Chain A
Amino acid sequence: DVKVTQSSRYLVKRTGEKVFLECVQDMDHENMFWYRQDPGLGLRLIYFSYDVKMKEKGDIPEGYSVSREKKERFSLILESASTNQTSMYLCASTPPGISMNTEAFFGQGTRLTVV
């Protein structure tokens, strides 16, 4: 069974803390993504990576950075957490290209609360 695993389901952090959200996939996928989910706004892309050490900004990268040192792992970093970063964070992975079998696989999500 394919798996995208996020290291934490729930996190509570203080304003100003550096926060790491970890995501691991076991499908040997090239592409990995970090989305943020907020009520009424759906999912918005923060960053994505299409190869090891490669990264590109998504639609809302401000306040975030990412790291991809190994193919299976994609980390989202909040350099200095703020209360407006309280949200649900979802990691996803896909193989390269699009075919009839392509789909994005999502992790369970990490609900982050910044106090």
Chain B
Amino acid sequence: AQSVTQLDSQVPVFEEAPVELRCNYSSSVSVYLFWYVQYPNQGLQLLLKYLSGSTLVKGINGFEAEFNKSQTSFHLRKPSVHISDTAEYFCAVSDLSKAAGNKLTFGGGTRVLVKP
């Protein structure tokens, strides 16, 4: 079984400031890692994913995340946020077994509010 913990339920941040959203996971098997974003009144959109290779992953809209296997973390960062980054962000994992069928296990979400 897997679980995902997003350590901050809300993160207020000023425009043009950096932001970091923390994500820790637990799993008995190797996993793939994802960050999704949900803008108000919309479905989820993929920001970035880690499958293998370089532990620093770059995604859309200037976001990046770093996979740290020893700390079982996958923190999301953006060096300078915009008002339009106001949204809820979800960290998710999927295990590598065929039986998983690409099921995703999600964290509780982090709501980012960018203030002018």
Contacts and interface: CB of A to CB of B under 8 A. Distances in A.
Bind each other = yes
A42 B101 contact: no
B51 interface: yes
Contacts of A42: 4, 6, 90, 106-109
Contacts of B109: 39-40, 42
Nearest to B45: A106
Interface residues of B, number: 28
Contacts of B32: 98
Contacts of A50: 101
B27 interface: no
B106 A44 contact: yes
Contacts, number: 67
A61 interface: no
B46 A104 contact: yes
Contact of B96 (A33, A48, A98): A98
B106 A33 contact: no
Contacts of B42: 108-109
Contacts of B36: 106
Contacts of A35: 106
A98 B94 contact: yes
Given A42-B90, A98-B51, A104 B106 contact: no
A95 B49 CA distance: 16
A31 B106 contact: no
A75 interface: no
